[in-house]
Amino acid sequence: MNIAYGIFGTSRALAVGPVAVVSLMTASSIGALGLSTPAEYAAAAITLAFISGAILTVMGVLRLGFLANFLSHPVIAGFITASGILIATSQLKHIFGIKAEGHTLVETVISLFENQHMTNPITLFIGLSTTAFLFWVRKGLKPLLISFGLKPRLADILAKAGPVAAVAVTILATVLFGLDKKGVSIVGEVPMGLPPLTFPSFSPSLVSQLFIPALLISIIGFVESVSVAQTLAAKKRQRIIPDQELVGLGTANIAAAFTGGYPVTGGFARSVVNFDAGAETPAAGAFTSIGILFAALLLTPLLYFLPKATLAATIIVAVLSLVDFSILKRTWGYSKVDFTAVAATILLTLGLGVEAGVSAGVLISIFLHLYKTSRPHVAEVGLVPGTQHFRNINRHQVQTHPSMVTLRIDESLYFANARFLEDLVLNRIACDQPIKNIVLMCSAVNEIDTSALESLEEINRRLKDAGIKLHFSEVKGPVMDRLKRSHFLEELSGEVFLSQYDAMVKLTRPYLGDNGKAAAE
């Protein structure tokens, strides 16, 4: 899987494999089929991985990676923060050596509290001491080694080997003191050897039953994966290519189907560990796979006595590094709308689970876009004295004329904001000012869809009935090309000017004196 992703993917740190969300969706999808034997379950899981891989690959070929754009950065930050908390909380059961279940923060905390009386003191000591050691290693080991005279590069390598040292020490302690016989949960036997070669089922009945679940898993898996990939890439000022990510995840799922696996995606915890280890290219996943292959063939017996508390501590330290509540403070001070999106994503992810959080993140991002663009910024502008530039009359000392109103539209016009512009223009002319011309300055308008065109036609008709002409200025070429394909320009009561300055000079000239300058309103 990681080798396939390493070939086709673009993230330098993303680790592909089973994740909680996809695992839950897979179990739910297969459980609804009414299967009876383990072999049937395995065949369904393999087929589900293949269908999901095919869907993702086709989406990549069709360049549907733009779906990732529906996740705004604040939403991604909120999702990652909440997911980090969820993952860290889910590992506490191994730190305490107790059983606990739950897919949300509330469920997990309640389960931990109900079973806290079963805490194993030795496990707790291993978990807490390993966690403290790993936190110290991240911040304090490298400066300490440098103070002893080691070169920074070597000190950095040794510091990153801290988790390996923790694993080795806790395994040795478990063996020497027989901690597994004192209630310390260990990894136990890890199967040796390579996974068998498998083939998906192409039964029309099974494929038809699994297609919709596979589609949902593909979308949710891609959004979650690209969220992780974008977050990790941003930390090193790198970029990912969503379309190529679709192909990478698709081939990884197809590879999983032929190696006995079920649907996979970019794993948050594994990716953080990979990032923390210094992964710099997509080949890191391939080298990880080679390392896993080597370990599966030769080293699995050595992991038999590894305490689960050590693994939990490693994951907790890794994921908490990405928990960032400062995003709440920043968005609160900058944009209350973005703050609402971040807070909602965090609360929904913590309260309802990762799947709900990801879905909510997408929906919130779409809603925010529609909300912001449905009420575009429209400024009434005037001429800056001594120049040919126009600025907001409420922000600058500018020249205007009572017979002319210029409105600068700072957003493309489409169905969501068409009525807003119509109401704004009609409300503006409802005054005692002797308005004869309305000019819509379109320097920021990149698109006018059919709904907006109909609103413009209505504005033109209403203004014409009121004895006011409608004009346009600074219309972009592609927008003008589309307007020319309609009858709007033929019915337009006014003109289309190349520049706003040209519009003001021509439209105000009949009302000006010999000096040729607009009088201040």
Terminal-to-terminal C-alpha distance of the chain:
69
Q: Are 9 and 242 in contact (CB under 8 A)?
A: no
The average pLDDT across 136-145 equals 86
Pairing of the two strands 404-409 and 437-441: parallel
Residue 517 has pLDDT above 60, yes or no: no
* Helix ranges (DSSP H) in 65-104: 73-90, 92-96
Distances (CA, A) of 346 to 20, 104, 215, 349: 17, 12, 25, 5
pLDDT of residue 512: 55
Rounded-to-integer distance, Cα 233 and Cα 220, Å = 20
Q: For 202-227, write each residue's pLDDT tens digit.
A: 889 999 999 988 887 888 788 778 87
Q: For 121-133, write each residue's pLDDT tens digit.
A: 999 999 999 999 9
Rounded-to-integer distance, Cα 176 and Cα 170, Å = 10
The average pLDDT across 486-511 equals 92
Q: For 401-458, write each residue's pLDDT tens digit.
A: 999 999 999 999 999 999 999 999 999 999 888 999 999 999 999 999 999 999 999 9
Share the mean pLDDT of the chain: 85
One-letter amino acid at 80 equals: I
pTM, entire model? 0.69
Distances (CA, A) of 21 to 146, 224, 254, 354: 42, 9, 19, 6
pLDDT of residue 520: 40
Rounded-to-integer distance, Cα 236 and Cα 224, Å = 19
Rounded-to-integer distance, Cα 95 and Cα 89, Å = 10
Please report the domains of the chain, with CATH numbers, ordered by start residue: 2-73+121-320 (no CATH), 378-511 (3.30.750.24)
Q: Are 354 and 86 in contact (CB under 8 A)?
A: yes
Residue 47: strand, helix, or coil: helix
* Helix ranges (DSSP H) in 91-151: 92-96, 105-114, 121-136, 142-147
Q: For 317-366, write each residue's pLDDT tens digit.
A: 877 877 888 889 888 999 888 888 888 888 988 888 766 776 777 788 77
- DSSP for 236-284, written as a single string: TT----HHHHHHHHHHHHHHHHTTT----EEEHHHHHHHHHTT--STHH
Q: Quick one: angle between helices 354-374 and 336-352, nearest 10? A: 160
